[in-house]
Structure 1
């Protein structure tokens, strides 16, 4: 390791790439905590030096660390992996990328469940770094909204109530509370929805069932070359989570119902085929919402159809009626 991090420049870029590749493979293949701890410690040492951070990110290092976090409940290993992520967030360009690579949801999930002060402290320090380092206002706002989506404000209140004897932790709690509260004040229902869809973690949040939301915001689904529609279709094609599939199918149907050309857009991006495949899903709720979505895609007189369906709006399967 010492030769790789030697700032004399004796090691070539090719040597560094080989070393990073080896570390990444060890993280991906390790199952025992001891071997994983050793590998992650090596990564921590490397990422203390800014000149190696970009190369680590280019080698899909962030995705590797996030995936490793999802596989462990060992708090010491969680701490070491998040410490490596924290090191990365000192680089402004990398901190900006954190909003699109799943870093914030992964850390937010652990934050909401962890009782270990060292884990809580390093997550909050990472969040604070991201908001401090990112200069682009739109990206900073996206990062804050992702944190809000992860229920971080509620967690911050709980942390504050415990009064940890750590001035750095207290400072981060105060900073994050102020920043996230400001973002909530500026949050529209579509901002909330957009952040949820971008995260890929769909739930039955109130906006999905709101007629007012769909009437007022359906045109925004066409922005950025139908970005939201494409994400929903992708979730239909790739997700294994029944709730996500139900919500995505519902939203595809609502888009088709409220936007005059919605059916054509969905067909253009193979959304209709994705929904129809779910008609044979194992989960009855998924089949039910896929059926409703298909009907919305095919029936012009939705009001008439609505009168024929005895639904309670909560996604119960037809078989349960």
Structure 2
């Protein structure tokens, strides 16, 4: 590495560390403003991304409610997405959900404009069909289509914004046209943002799709177990425990697979969770992992009136 390259590396690393340090808004604004300027240049984008800068900005975005700082961080992310390689990794880095949360709540036109421009950049810069599809589905999961409808109805006097709204509406509508229930489920699991969407409690879904959980070396099962081990969100824990139990119930070797990846131990630990709903769904999952007569178990749970049962949420 040349002296100039080393200087660049050190400078960008120092800026990244300042973003990570949870400074006061004024100091953070100055730091991010410097990044906004530097990230207009592609060689700086690549170096910053190599140092984990994208993930750092995403984490910072989740910690602020200051709209000016939200705008500046989103602007820096927009600059980064002009690089095709960085755009391809945006789905894995959590860029879309982080921006999508702000988009759904923000009333500031410049914040809306820069987030939509970032989304458009990601879809324009990614050539690989599957990665582009996953990015579009993440946007759909963030309720971006609904937000686009609301923005379109307001008729902002901004040609660039109108163009992005039209482009994204067409792309996202196309992506959901042939969306299967498993595509919806897979995108939700990959995002790590589990919620009680209809597929989780659909017997038809589990019967038809449980074999797909074994694809890519049990990728979905591993993600669910990781969420059980690392998440602190009660809803995510409830849904993940429920899904592990349903996988074991519908796939003949499910119990063995779950145990192989320490899923049973992860569920067992949740039996002592503080949240009563988490304990309840963990208990159901443990029973599904241990009992073989599923029909008998279901009837027992439905008719047992001796113990207290917490309403599922």
TM-score of the superposed pair, with normalisation by structure 2: 0.96
| TM-aligned CA deviation for residue 319 of structure 1 | 4.7
CA distance in 2, matches of 1:152, 1:132: 17
The aligned counterpart of 2:272 is 280
The aligned counterpart of 2:261 is 269
The C-alpha deviation readout for 1:43-91, integer Å capped at 9, x for no partner, is 1111000011111001000011001101111111111100000001111
8 Å Cα contact 2:277/2:311 also seen in 1: no
2:226 counterpart of 1:234: yes
Match of 2:42 among 50, 55, 59: 50
SS class of match (2:59): helix
2:309 counterpart of 1:318: yes
2:62 counterpart of 1:66: no
SS class of match (2:92): coil
* 1:310–1:37 Cα change, 3 Å: same
| TM-aligned CA deviation for residue 11 of structure 1 | 5.2
In structure 2, the gaps of 5 or more residues are: none
CA distance in 1, matches of 2:2, 2:223: 45
Aligned positions, number = 308
The aligned counterpart of 1:17 is 9
Runs of 4+ aligned residues of structure 1 deviating over 6 Å after TM superposition are none
Match of 1:193 among 173, 180, 185: 185
Match of 1:221 among 196, 213, 216: 213
The aligned counterpart of 1:152 is 144
| TM-aligned CA deviation for residue 30 of structure 1 | 3.5
8 Å Cα contact 2:84/2:126 also seen in 1: yes
SS class of match (1:309): helix
The C-alpha deviation readout for 1:242-262, integer Å capped at 9, x for no partner, is 000000000000000000000
CA distance in 1, matches of 2:178, 2:78: 27
CA distance in 1, matches of 2:232, 2:136: 27
* 1:129–1:207 Cα change, 3 Å: same
2:251 counterpart of 1:259: yes
Match of 2:104 among 112, 116, 120: 112
| TM-aligned CA deviation for residue 12 of structure 1 | 1.9
| TM-aligned CA deviation for residue 97 of structure 1 | 0.5
CA distance in 1, matches of 2:310, 2:78: 49
2:90 counterpart of 1:98: yes
CA distance in 2, matches of 1:266, 1:145: 27
Match of 2:31 among 19, 23, 39: 39
CA distance in 2, matches of 1:186, 1:19: 46
In structure 1, the gaps of 5 or more residues are: 1-8, 312-316
CA distance in 1, matches of 2:311, 2:242: 18
8 Å Cα contact 2:277/2:310 also seen in 1: no
The aligned counterpart of 1:184 is 176
Structure 1 segment 194-209 matched on structure 2, within 5 A: 194-209=186-201
- What is the Cα-based RMSD across aligned positions, in Å? 1.4
CA distance in 2, matches of 1:10, 1:261: 55
The aligned counterpart of 2:70 is 78
| TM-aligned CA deviation for residue 320 of structure 1 | 6.0
The aligned counterpart of 2:134 is 142
CA distance in 2, matches of 1:131, 1:186: 18
